Amino acid sequence: MKDPDLHLIHTYNRSITFVRGEEVYLYDNTGKKYLDLGAGIAVSALGYSNEEFKQGLKDQIDQLIHVSNLYYTEPVIKASELLAKGSGMDRVFFTNSGAEAIEGALKLARKYAYLKNKDSKGEIIAMNHSFHGRTMGAVSVTGTEHYREPFEPLIGGVSFAEYNDLVSVEKLITKDTCAIILETVQGEGGIYPASEEFIKGIREICDKNDIAMILDEIQCGMGRTGTLFAFEQYGIKPDILTSAKALGCGVPVGAFAATEKFAAAMYPGDHGTTYGGNPLAAQAVCKVFEIFEKEQILAHVAEVAPYLYKKLKQLAEKYPSFISDVRGKGLLVGLEVTCGNSEIVKRAMEKGLVLLTAGADVVRMAPPLVIQKEQIDAGLAILDEVFLERSMAVKV
């Protein structure tokens, strides 16, 4: 067989070729079936068989795929209204990816500071172990040294605080700080939800200094934690919000949204994108919102997530020497393991279960939000088998 990596820049270590999806299952090119608890990295919230979603996209393809942002289209007007209303933000800018949403959020925060003081240095406080994407701006605020170092010099004026440690943030505030950026639940860094005290404290610091609180909900937003956005559970609102991943359920689309106060800092010509939020992408967003409402996705997450935790806690009790923690929010869950997270994910894959890793020692689950309890049972039975084999290997 030809080397599939022959003409691909080798940035991923891949082994499986998927060809088809159905409900919460994927099929590879040998016909093998997998239960998917990764959802294309928290993207495919509706699974793979939502006919209304697919028909909506097909209809849009027939009608109009693209015209550029020099013109209005009906889908983008509707999508902006749905996302603004759903998030409590006032205005939205659609992008093609999560990283681009971060770029826009950072530019908006800097523009707001610039309008107040043209000499502002536009400093940004970000968090250790954060992940915000791979473009130059997004990687500049990503709290993992090895993602940044080879690409320096990055954008200047970024410093890193400890997540869930308010004092470490306060220490970094200067007269030139223009934004604090954080995930409401750290995803790639190892599934760490923010404490209520931390989020509320950041809100206060931003209010006091008139700087932007940017919440990155690219992974934890769009229903994943049981509310449309995770910040709703903390009784606060950010100034700028980023979304992507499940926003288009597989159609590449992201967004940054802001309150009027911050959004008003962007003027025509300040920012742009050729096809961000084009009719096809915007239609995907509209359909996702419609279907979330119609199929009561949030209520479903609120119902199945506690079940998943209960089952995972039982698994952790069964294998205390392998599983050191179970944490997360809603259907974004991390299993901290002491026996190699990549090895667990690899073994599960061989047995037909798709999982993800996060951080150095976490097995991550971010299943389609439509997953049923029986499917959770089936997935955890496979995971149990993987740990059982591990424990036997240790004894021998």
Ligand X SMILES: *Cc1c(COP(=O)(O)O)cnc(C)c1O
Binding-residue total with ligand X (CB under 6 A): 16
Binding of ligand X by 219 (CB under 6 A): yes
**How many CB atoms neighbour CB 211 within 10 A?**
23
| Secondary structure class of 154 (helix, strand, coil) | coil
Q: How far is the CB of 194 from ligand X (least distance, A)?
A: 12
CA distance 35 to 151: 37
User: How many H helices and E strands in the chain?
Assistant: 13, 17
Q: How far is the CB of 63 from ligand X (least distance, A)?
A: 26
Q: How far is the CB of 93 from ligand X (least distance, A)?
A: 15
Nearer to ligand X, 177 or 242 (CB): 242
Nearer to ligand X, 53 or 131 (CB): 131
- Would you say 243 and 221 are in contact if contact means Cβ atoms under 8 Å apart? yes
Q: How far is the CB of 330 from ligand X (least distance, A)?
A: 15
Q: How far is the CB of 106 from ligand X (least distance, A)?
A: 12
CA distance 169 to 188: 21
Name which of residues 2 to 31 contact ligand X (CB under 6 A). Answer: none
Nearest alpha carbon to residue 52 among 302, 246, 286: 286
Binding of ligand X by 97 (CB under 6 A): yes
Judged by CB under 6 A, the stretch of 78-86, 181-189, 281-289, 329-337 that binds ligand X is 181-189
Of these, 47, 86, 98, 330, which contacts ligand X (CB under 6 A)? Answer: 98
Binding of ligand X by 183 (CB under 6 A): yes
Q: How far is the CB of 144 from ligand X (least distance, A)?
A: 12
DSSP 323-358: EEEEEEETTEEEEEESS-HHHHHHHHHHTTEE-EEE
Of these, 75, 187, 193, 330, which contacts ligand X (CB under 6 A)? Answer: 187
Of these, 212, 244, 266, 297, which contacts ligand X (CB under 6 A)? Answer: 244
Q: What does the block give as tokens for 323?
A: 């599983």
- Would you say 211 and 177 are in contact if contact means Cβ atoms under 8 Å apart? yes
Of these, 24, 57, 99, 266, which contacts ligand X (CB under 6 A)? Answer: 99
Name which of residues 101 to 130 contact ligand X (CB under 6 A). Answer: 102
Q: Is 139 exposed, middle or buried (0-12, 13-18, 19+ CB in 10 A)?
A: buried
Which residue lies nearest ligand X, judged by its C-beta? Answer: 98
User: In this structure, what DSSP letter does residue 227 have?
Assistant: S
**How many CB atoms neighbour CB 337 within 10 A?**
22
Nearest alpha carbon to residue 342 among 356, 325, 353: 356
CA distance 336 to 187: 13
Nearer to ligand X, 110 or 224 (CB): 224
Of these, 79, 169, 218, 280, which contacts ligand X (CB under 6 A)? Answer: 218
Taking only Cα atoms into account, the Rg of the chain, rounded to an integer number of angstroms, comes to 21
Nearer to ligand X, 99 or 297 (CB): 99
**Residue in this structure with the two tokens 């506690």, named with its chain if needed:** 306
Amino acid identity at 63: Q
Name which of residues 302 to 331 contact ligand X (CB under 6 A). Answer: none
Could you tell me where the DSSP H helices lie in 1-124? 39-42, 51-63, 74-87, 98-116
Binding of ligand X by 333 (CB under 6 A): no
Nearer to ligand X, 121 or 327 (CB): 327
The contact mask relative to ligand X for 130-169 (x = CB under 6 A, - = no) is -xxx------------------------------------
Binding positions for ligand X, rule: CB under 6 A: 97-99, 102, 131-133, 183, 187-188, 216, 218-219, 244-245, 254
